[in-house]
């Protein structure tokens, strides 16, 4: 019989669908048609019958519809099972309330849709807001639900990781029958996805309210989407990717770094002849797209809108925003007509490109939320991006210093020229006003690829020590490269990478020494090469929850995966390697971080650990192939599964659990509450960002705790919009007494005041100083080299006259303290110049007239106290400014208490019970415990001195009950000295002995370990040895003084043994 | 007769059957091979396509066969022929098979004539 064209087409289509190796299609088609033409007897051809026949006869050559459906079903099911598994893991270990660092700011900003720090994260805010609704108005549950959004995003990331791995493995096996490979594909996916579930860095941000979880999800979806596109070449996926990338800019720019890997997948799929040169070209195109999105869209597109607005407002006299609106409308029309044109001309590529651009911009449009919310003037409104110009600066992170990348100065370079490169603007009453100049500084010593540029004194010292440079030596190009390789890449990337896949020494921040935060293998002889002897490790390492030992197994499995891929399918290998590079080392190249960061930065590189987890999935195949060669297929598969599962995800999960379990941790919330409760009613509290600000914002904004206190973060006090906020009522805190008008401190006005020595010997009254600093009279100003006039700081010795009765009226002091009041507070302001922030602080001090109590955080840097140190008194976590005499005693402010008030605060207002409730005390919580011990010991000591033994006993009693005593490091034992001293002094002998004994045991183990080290590693512990020996000697003295014979002999014994070996 | 009758036995001998057929014919395509086998064995042996094509592709990959594509009836038809290497190999393989089958007959105590 003869087949019709239609029938043939249908058979052909079916074959193309099912044939595993596409090149076999022709041959099979020929076979079937020939067979049918020869044999089919009936005139009517049943196509379904033919299809069934194909399924049976060509079994080995095709994946039948049913087989593929089965695979898809199990792939979907296992994916969702993993999603729920990961969700449960993260939900169980999730922090139930606010965490340290930026989380407090993010939760508050999400809950009230406020404007957080640059460059903002509108999509995160929307998602956080949605989740916060599940709290149903119970404000203490808001943080829980925003944290849960991160847990969900992270679990979804695991889901997409699984699908990504299975898609890639299936691709590597594309010439084989899917049915025969289903198990291998699924298990590879499970191993890789679970390894990432339990990886240190990813787990950390999965259980707190940070943007990194959601950012990871966007990375995962984007990369998965290009594999979907590849599978069916359906260009709608490209549009989807463009939209995802657009949206991801509203979370974190990290997700853009998937683009080079995406272009590579595109190139490999579309190109006919794949070459090395083509691969490089595809990568360059990928980089170009990243640049276009990051700079073109996020910055220049917005800058363009500002330029047009500038024209409309300043030249045509329209109102603000009209030009920007016109710009957006114009752009939308251009896109619209462009798309219409492409349809008319049947230009597919132009059409696709324009539609992608439209969706990219649609995603990016989430930033209009920032603009809208800044205009609503919420409590948190950092940099106030309420117009197109400030939005441009907000997006461009202009508050952060820019770092040189290709060519720039060295740390010891001197600036030789400041070239004006453009104008700075501010939004005035009617038009944009020029607020100053943008400068480009040139230097005398420069290098290509500068990596050692920071000129901060502590950084300079670090550079010199790390590179072994003497004073006056300039880094050469090779010193510079060495620093890049050993510090920036070695310590600040590979160390983090290996924490995740090899093991981690402890959770204490590492600064490149052998003592803390190193990566380890857990194989002692190997670790000993880098870190000194690993036998009999001391409690500071072995008992530390962050001490995680994976024996390098996840790392080896990943390397195995790379090996397998580069033998079997180089293209997949190169694609994943590209993802790995751009989400890891490329960030290191771009950030060009200065040393001594305030915290560990591993979270920024989670994307590259994601890529490595894909390699781990492939590693399973290597193990499986090897075992199957040496046994049967079945046994090999089972054995490989068991080995990989227990050797990698199981090991990672069990080792990592105790340092990721934050389920009972409420220390950040309690810290914030205690901080605010340390302050009297209506206090003004000066803080210095991060951990002493964000948790406090959270407590006030979300839970409504002590909203009468005005928290002023000094880092933002330079910003005129922040000062505007201080002049308005916020929550229950009235406007601050600031006399300056907006024009007097607006952007570009009085940004800083040079100190000009006028030879004034007497102290200058603060109000007089303010008058001079705000004077518009040229006689009160100095002329600068460019001819302009500016205000200056004429004196450094300052004073504020005090009316003692006023202090009593305002309850600043008790009447009996009147005799201690100084007639005037006198101090010297020793900074090289005064900033706008200083001016505002002067203004507040001069005009507050003791109406509101003024406090300074205890943890801010020394120069923020402005030289007022001798008038600062501890009343809890904060110093109170009190114009009291110090009776000529030279006491450091950290030992000076407003004893009666602080006693009442500690006993009645502060609650330290959260520390003992937390299963895991992270580094920040431990820092708080140490400072709390310090404060309480100081208070008890001062109470004893003042003869208030009963009160001192109560303070020590509460501390012993609520504050953990565990020593995490030798430094922690310093606090124990004062604890023990107080306890003995209060005749609490039993407790004193208990603390002494425990600390002795700890120190013995630590010092014995140090003593067992070879000379060189031992030198790294110089400080620890000194502290340890000091504490021991003091213990010996104290126990002798209090006649504790047994402990005294024990201490003596330890001391006798130690010096010989140290 | 059903084609699964010799399934296990056929597996090892598929290669030599293909090679031998191609020794006698200049070039053949897949369907043709199945038909010839069927004809010679009076329908006793039916090659499954699912086994034939992978065997052909394997021999091609090993360089024993060369393939050429021709348009027949408006569709591509893939012909296979012995390569130089294949021609040499057939002889060796045939001898190997012959001696193996002799031994097999002895082992199984079959009538030697049947071999």
The answer for residues whose C-beta is within 8 angstroms of residue B2's C-beta and 6 or more apart is B46
Q: Is B29 on the interface with A (CB under 8 A)?
A: yes
A28: chain B residues, CB-CB within 8 Å: 49, 53
What is the Cα–Cα distance from A159 to A28, expressed in whole angstroms?
38
What is the Cα–Cα distance from A309 to A328, expressed in whole angstroms?
11
Structure tokens at A340: 């219409």
B77: chain A residues, CB-CB within 8 Å: 27, 30
- What's the gap in Å between the CA of A80 and the closest CA on chain B? 35
Which of A323-327's residues contact partners 24+ apart within 8 Å by CB, and which partners?
A324/A388
Burial class (CB in 10 A: 0-12, 13-18, 19+), B96: exposed
What is the Cα–Cα distance from A349 to B98, expressed in whole angstroms?
63
Strand pairing of A854-857 and A684-687? parallel
Whether A31 and B54 lie within 8 Å, measured CB to CB? no
Q: Where are the beta strands (DSSP E) in A94-211?
A: none
Whether A58 and B54 lie within 8 Å, measured CB to CB? no
Strand pairing of A407-409 and A446-448? antiparallel
What is the Cα–Cα distance from A19 to A62, expressed in whole angstroms?
4
A35: chain B residues, CB-CB within 8 Å: 31
Q: Is B11 on the interface with A (CB under 8 A)?
A: no
Residue of A nearest to B75 (CA): A30
Residue B2: pLDDT band with limits 50, 70, 90:
very low
Contact call for residues B17 and B37 (beta carbons, < 8 A): yes
Whether B31 and A30 lie within 8 Å, measured CB to CB? yes
Burial class (CB in 10 A: 0-12, 13-18, 19+), A70: middle
Whether B48 and A31 lie within 8 Å, measured CB to CB? no
Out of A35, A58, A60, name the one closest to residue B31 (CB): A35
Whether B31 and A24 lie within 8 Å, measured CB to CB? no
Structure tokens at A858: 């205890």
Whether B53 and A59 lie within 8 Å, measured CB to CB? no
Measure CA A789 to chain center: 42
Which of B31, B32, B35, B59 to substitute to test the interface with A, most A CBs within 10 Å? B31
Q: Is A34 on the interface with B (CB under 8 A)?
A: yes
Q: Is B93 on the interface with A (CB under 8 A)?
A: no
Contact call for residues A653 and A207 (beta carbons, < 8 A): no
Q: Is B88 on the interface with A (CB under 8 A)?
A: no
Whether B29 and A26 lie within 8 Å, measured CB to CB? no
Structure tokens at A850: 């003791």
B50: chain A residues, CB-CB within 8 Å: 57-61
Residue of A nearest to B35 (CA): A35
A34: chain B residues, CB-CB within 8 Å: 31
What is the Cα–Cα distance from A604 to A621, expressed in whole angstroms?
29
Q: What is the pLDDT of residue B115?
A: 40
Query: From residue A735, how far is each of A717, A725, A809, A848 by CA, in Å?
Result: 15, 8, 20, 11
Please, what sign has the CA dihedral across residues A310, A316, A322, A326? negative
Q: Is A23 on the interface with B (CB under 8 A)?
A: no
Q: Is B54 on the interface with A (CB under 8 A)?
A: yes
How many CB atoms lie under 10 A from the CB of residue A301?
19
Q: Is B31 on the interface with A (CB under 8 A)?
A: yes
ipTM: 0.86
Please, what sign has the CA dihedral across residues A596, A598, A599, A605? negative
Q: Is B1 on the interface with A (CB under 8 A)?
A: no
User: Whose CA is closest to A736, among A682, A693, A781?
Assistant: A682
Out of B29, B53, B69, name the one closest to residue A61 (CB): B53
pTM of the model: 0.93
Q: What is the pLDDT of residue B9?
A: 66
Whether B31 and A28 lie within 8 Å, measured CB to CB? no
Whether B31 and A31 lie within 8 Å, measured CB to CB? yes
Q: Is A29 on the interface with B (CB under 8 A)?
A: yes
Contact call for residues A954 and A927 (beta carbons, < 8 A): no
Query: From residue A340, how far is each of A335, A337, A344, A346, A596 by CA, in Å?
Result: 9, 5, 6, 10, 54
Containing A182, the helix (H) or strand (E) segment is helix A178-197
A280-290 CB burial, b ≥16 within 10 A, e <16: eebbebbeebb
A27: chain B residues, CB-CB within 8 Å: 30, 53, 76-78
Measure CA B60 to chain center: 13
Q: What is the pLDDT of residue A400?
A: 65
Residue showing tokens 């039993």: A990
Whether A26 and B57 lie within 8 Å, measured CB to CB? no
Q: What is the pLDDT of residue A438?
A: 86
Out of A30, A58, A61, name the one closest to residue B75 (CB): A30
- What's the gap in Å between the CA of A28 and the closest CA on chain B? 9
User: Whose CA is closest to A617, among A685, A691, A679, A561?
Assistant: A561
Q: What is the pLDDT of residue B106?
A: 86
Q: Is B30 on the interface with A (CB under 8 A)?
A: yes
A4: chain B residues, CB-CB within 8 Å: none
CA dihedral A866, A869, A873, A876 (to 10 degrees): 60
B75: chain A residues, CB-CB within 8 Å: 26, 29-30, 33
The answer for residues whose C-beta is within 8 angstroms of residue A248's C-beta and 6 or more apart is A123, A215, A218, A219, A222, A255, A256, A363
Count of alpha carbons within 13 Å of B49, Cβ hemisphere only? 22
Q: Is A430 on the interface with B (CB under 8 A)?
A: no
Q: Is A22 on the interface with B (CB under 8 A)?
A: no
What is the Cα–Cα distance from B8 to B14, expressed in whole angstroms?
11
How many CB atoms lie under 10 A from the CB of residue A623?
22
How many CB atoms lie under 10 A from the CB of residue B53?
22
CA dihedral A190, A195, A197, A198 (to 10 degrees): 140
Q: Indicate the SS3 state at residue B6.
A: coil
Q: Is A869 on the interface with B (CB under 8 A)?
A: no
Residue B102: pLDDT band with limits 50, 70, 90:
confident
The answer for residues whose C-beta is within 8 angstroms of residue A503's C-beta and 6 or more apart is A519, A520, A521, A522, A548, A549, A550, A551, A552, A655
Q: Indicate the SS3 state at residue B74.
A: coil
pLDDT digits (tens, 9 = 90+) for A476-510: 999 999 999 999 999 999 999 999 999 999 999 99
Contact call for residues A267 and A226 (beta carbons, < 8 A): no
Number of alpha helices (DSSP H) and beta strands (DSSP E) in chain B: 4, 3
Structure tokens at A621: 């195949």
Whether A31 and B30 lie within 8 Å, measured CB to CB? yes
Count interface pairs A-B at CB distance under 8 A.
46
Q: Is B68 on the interface with A (CB under 8 A)?
A: no
Structure tokens at A426: 């501010």
Instruction: Give every strand in the sheet of A878-881, ordered side by side.
Output: A710-713, A684-687, A854-857, A878-881, A872-874
Contact call for residues A133 and A61 (beta carbons, < 8 A): no
Out of B50, B69, B76, name the one closest to residue A60 (CB): B50
- What's the gap in Å between the CA of B101 and the closest CA on chain A? 29
* Cα angle for residues A689, A695, A698 (degrees, 5° grid): 115
pLDDT beneath 50, residues of chain A = none
The answer for residues whose C-beta is within 8 angstroms of residue B49's C-beta and 6 or more apart is A28, A31, A57, A58, A61, B30, B34
φ and ψ at residue A951, rounded to 5 degrees: -65, -40
Contact call for residues A607 and A219 (beta carbons, < 8 A): yes
What is the Cα–Cα distance from A113 to A98, expressed in whole angstroms?
17
Q: Is B57 on the interface with A (CB under 8 A)?
A: yes
Containing A185, the helix (H) or strand (E) segment is helix A178-197
Whether A28 and B29 lie within 8 Å, measured CB to CB? no
A29: chain B residues, CB-CB within 8 Å: 75-76
- What's the gap in Å between the CA of B78 and the closest CA on chain A? 6
Whether A59 and B50 lie within 8 Å, measured CB to CB? yes
Contact call for residues A11 and A50 (beta carbons, < 8 A): yes
């Amino acid at each position: 019989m003869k087949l019709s064209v239609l029938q043939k087409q249908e058979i052909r289509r079916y074959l193309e669908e099912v044939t595993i190796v596409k090149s076999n299609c022709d041959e099979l088609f020929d076979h079937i048609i020939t067979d049918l033409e020869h044999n089919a007897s009936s005139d009517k051809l049943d196509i379904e019958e033919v299809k069934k026949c194909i399924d049976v006869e060509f079994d080995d050559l095709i994946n039948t519809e049913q087989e593929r459906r089965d695979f898809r079903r199990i792939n979907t099911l296992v994916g969702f099972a993993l999603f729920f598994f990961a969700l449960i893991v993260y939900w169980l270990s999730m922090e139930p309330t606010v965490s340290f660092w930026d989380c407090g700011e993010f939760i508050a900003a999400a809950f009230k849709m406020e404007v957080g720090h640059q460059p903002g994260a509108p999509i995160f805010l929307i998602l956080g807001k949605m989740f916060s609704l599940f709290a149903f108005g119970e404000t203490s549950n808001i943080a829980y639900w925003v944290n849960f959004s991160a847990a969900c995003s992270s679990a979804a990331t695991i889901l997409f990781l699984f699908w990504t791995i299975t898609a890639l493995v299936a691709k590597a096996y594309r010439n084989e029958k899917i049915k025969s490979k289903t198990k291998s594909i699924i298990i590879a996916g499970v191993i890789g996805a679970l390894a990432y579930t339990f990886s240190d860095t990813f787990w950390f941000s999965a259980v707190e309210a940070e943007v990194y979880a959601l950012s990871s999800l966007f990375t995962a979806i984007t990369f998965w989407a290009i594999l979907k596109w590849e599978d069916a070449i359906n260009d709608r996926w490209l549009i989807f990717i463009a939209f995802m990338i657009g949206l991801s800019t509203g979370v974190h720019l990290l997700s853009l770094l998937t683009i080079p890997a995406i272009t590579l997948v595109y190139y490999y799929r579309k190109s006919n002849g794949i070459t090395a040169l083509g691969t490089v070209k595809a990568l360059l195109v990928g980089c170009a797209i990243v640049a276009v999105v990051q700079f073109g869209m996020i910055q220049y597109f917005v800058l363009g809108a500002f330029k047009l607005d500038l024209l409309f407002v300043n030249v045509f006299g329209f109102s603000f925003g009209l030009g920007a609106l016109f710009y957006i409308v114009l752009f939308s029309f251009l896109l619209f007509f462009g798309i219409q044109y492409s349809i008319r001309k049947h230009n597919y590529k132009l059409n696709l490109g324009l539609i992608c651009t439209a969706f990219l911009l649609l995603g990016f449009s989430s930033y209009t939320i920032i603009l809208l919310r800044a205009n609503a003037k919420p409590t948190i409104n950092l940099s106030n991006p309420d117009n197109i110009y400030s939005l441009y600066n907000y997006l461009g992170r202009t508050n952060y210093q820019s770092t040189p990348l290709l060519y720039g100065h060295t740390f010891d370079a001197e600036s030789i020229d400041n070239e004006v490169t453009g104008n700075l603007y501010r939004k005035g009453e009617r038009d944009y006003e020029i607020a100053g100049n943008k400068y480009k500084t040139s230097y005398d010593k420069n290098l290509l690829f500068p990596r050692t540029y920071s000129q901060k004194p502590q950084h300079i010292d670090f550079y010199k020590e790390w590179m072994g440079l003497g004073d006056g030596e300039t880094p050469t190009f090779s010193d510079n490269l060495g620093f890049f390789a050993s510090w920036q890449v070695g310590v600040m990337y590979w160390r983090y990478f290996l924490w995740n896949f090899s093991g981690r020494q402890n959770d204490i921040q590492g600064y490149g020494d052998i003592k803390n935060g190193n990566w380890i293998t857990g194989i002692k002889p190997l670790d000993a090469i880098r870190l000194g002897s690993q036998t009999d490790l001391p409690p500071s390492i072995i008992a530390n929850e962050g001490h995680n030992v994976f024996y390098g197994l996840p790392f080896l499995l990943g390397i195995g995966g790379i090996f397998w891929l580069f033998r079997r399918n180089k293209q997949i290998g190169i694609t994943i390697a590209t993802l790995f590079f751009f989400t890891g080392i490329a960030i290191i190249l771009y950030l060009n971080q200065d040393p001594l960061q305030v915290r560990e930065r591993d979270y920024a590189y989670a994307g590259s650990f994601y890529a490595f987890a894909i390699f781990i999935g492939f590693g399973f195949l290597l193990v499986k192939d090897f075992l199957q060669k040496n046994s049967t297929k079945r046994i090999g598969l089972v054995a490989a599964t068991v080995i990989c599962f227990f050797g990698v995800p199981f090991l990672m999960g069990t080792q990592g659990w105790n340092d990721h379990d934050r389920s009972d941790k409420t220390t950040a919330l309690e810290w914030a509450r205690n901080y605010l409760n340390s302050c009297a009613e209506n206090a003004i509290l000066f803080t210095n960002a991060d951990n002493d600000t964000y948790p406090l914002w959270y407590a006030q904004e979300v839970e409504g705790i002590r909203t009468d206190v005005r928290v002023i973060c000094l880092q933002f006090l330079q910003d005129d919009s922040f000062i505007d906020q201080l002049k308005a009522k916020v929550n229950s805190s009235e406007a601050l007494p600031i006399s300056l008008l907006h024009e007097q401190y607006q952007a570009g006005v009085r940004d800083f005041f040079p100190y000009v020595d006028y030879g004034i010997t007497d102290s200058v009254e603060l109000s007089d100083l303010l008058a001079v600093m705000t004077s518009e009279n040229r006689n009160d100003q100095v002329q600068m080299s460019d001819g302009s006039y500016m205000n200056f700081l004429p004196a450094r010795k300052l004073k504020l006259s005090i009316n003692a009765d006023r202090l009593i009226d305002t309850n600043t002091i008790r009447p009996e303290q009147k005799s201690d009041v100084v007639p005037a507070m006198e101090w010297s302001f020793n900074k090289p110049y005064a900033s706008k922030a200083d001016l505002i602080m002067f203004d507040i001090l001069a005009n507050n007239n003791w109406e509101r109590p003024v406090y300074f955080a205890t943890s801010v840097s020394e120069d923020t106290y402005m030289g007022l140190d001798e008038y600062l008194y501890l009343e809890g976590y904060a110093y109170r400014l009190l114009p009291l005499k110090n009776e000529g005693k030279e006491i450091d402010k950290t030992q000076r208490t407003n004893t009666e008030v602080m006693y009442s605060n500690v006993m009645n207002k502060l609650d330290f019970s959260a520390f003992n409730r937390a299963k895991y005390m992270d580094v920040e919580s431990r820092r708080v415990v140490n400072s709390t011990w310090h404060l309480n010991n100081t208070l008890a000591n001062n109470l004893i001195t003042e003869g208030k033994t009963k009160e001192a006993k109560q303070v020590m009693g509460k501390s012993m009950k609520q504050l953990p005593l565990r020593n995490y490091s030798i430094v922690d034992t310093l606090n124990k000295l004062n604890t023990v001293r107080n306890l003995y002094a209060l005749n609490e002998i039993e407790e004193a002995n208990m603390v002494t004994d425990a600390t002795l045991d700890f120190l013995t183990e630590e010092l014995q370990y140090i003593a067992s080290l070879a000379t060189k590693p031992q030198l790294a512990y110089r400080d620890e040895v000194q502290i340890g020996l000091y504490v021991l000697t003091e213990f010996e003295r104290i126990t002798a003084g209090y006649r504790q014979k047994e402990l005294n002999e024990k201490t003596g014994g330890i001391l006798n043994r130690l010096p010989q070996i140290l | 007769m059903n084609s699964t009758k010799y399934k296990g036995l056929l597996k090892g001998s598929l290669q030599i059957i293909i090679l031998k057929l191609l020794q006698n014919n200049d070039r053949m395509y897949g369907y043709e091979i199945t038909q010839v086998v069927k004809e010679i064995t009076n329908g006793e042996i039916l090659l499954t396509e699912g086994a034939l094509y992978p065997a052909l592709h394997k021999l091609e990959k090993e360089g024993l066969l060369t393939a050429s594509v021709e348009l027949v009836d408006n569709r591509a038809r893939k012909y296979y022929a012995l390569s130089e290497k294949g021609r040499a190999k057939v002889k060796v393989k045939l001898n190997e098979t012959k001696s193996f089958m002799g031994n097999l007959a002895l082992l199984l105590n079959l009538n030697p004539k049947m071999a």
